[in-house]
């Protein structure tokens, strides 16, 4: 990868030992959660393909780890938290049969959808105060209630 920040993050994430708590999806989700934040300038300089490659390298590393530790299959998932302006990843045991979200997220078939949303986010430097002051007005909300997520199996 050409981006030093992505390489730095990759080195941090790949040494993380996956947490498995097959009886508690929330423990798994929170202990395996990684969040990535950038400012507007970095977002403008990042290349979508580099970010996708970064995420896929994490998938490969966690897949190897799962196999080496002989863990049961897990679900890796990635999403853009629009309000926080973050790209997020985590993994949970496949035995749960679901992801740890209260609602039903919209599963997208292509990681590029998530990465593009993150890089184009207007909230990398935070949500402008005017967005809060106009709450209840006819303005668009900060984000819609639909959560898009990309999922792949670590088997």
At 104, is the pLDDT very low, low, confident or very high (cuts 50, 70, 90)? Answer: confident
What total number of domains does the chain contain? 1
- Mean pLDDT score of the chain, rounded to an integer? 91
Single pTM value for the model: 0.89
**Residue 148, helix vs strand vs coil:** strand
Phi, psi of 123 (to 5 degrees): -115, 25
Alpha helices, DSSP H, located in the chain: 4-14, 25-31, 40-45, 48-68, 111-119, 129-133
pLDDT at position 66 is 96
The strand pair at 106-107 and 86-93 is best described as: unpaired
For the segment 13-55, what is each residue's pLDDT rounded down to a tens digit? 999 999 999 899 999 999 999 999 999 999 999 999 999 999 9
pLDDT at 139 over 80: no
For residues 18, 150, 98, 124, the Cα torsion angle rounded to the nearest 10 degrees is 80
Please give the average per-residue pLDDT across 84-108, as a whole number. Answer: 94
Q: Determine the structural domain holding residue 69 and report its residue range.
A: 4-154
For the segment 110-127, what is each residue's pLDDT rounded down to a tens digit? 999 999 999 999 988 887
DSSP string, 83-104: TTTEEEEEEEEGGG-S-S-SS-
With vertex at residue 30, the alpha carbon angle to CA 144 and CA 71, rounded to the nearest 5 degrees, is 120
């Amino acid at each position: 990868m050409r981006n030093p920040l992505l390489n730095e993050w990759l080195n941090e994430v790949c040494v993380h030992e996956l947490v498995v708590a097959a009886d508690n999806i929330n423990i798994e989700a929170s202990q395996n959660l990684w969040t990535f934040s950038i400012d507007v300038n970095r977002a403008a300089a990042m290349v979508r393909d580099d970010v996708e490659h970064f995420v896929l390298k994490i998938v490969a590393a966690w897949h190897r780890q799962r196999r080496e530790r002989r863990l049961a299959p897990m679900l890796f998932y990635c999403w853009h938290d629009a309000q926080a302006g973050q790209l997020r990843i985590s993994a949970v045991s496949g035995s749960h049969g679901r992801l740890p979200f209260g609602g039903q997220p919209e599963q997208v078939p292509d990681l590029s959808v998530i990465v593009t949303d993150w890089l184009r986010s207007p909230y990398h430097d935070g949500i402008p105060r005017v967005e809060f002051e106009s709450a209840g007005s006819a303005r668009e909300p900060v984000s819609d209630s639909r959560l898009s997520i990309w999922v792949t199996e670590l088997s």
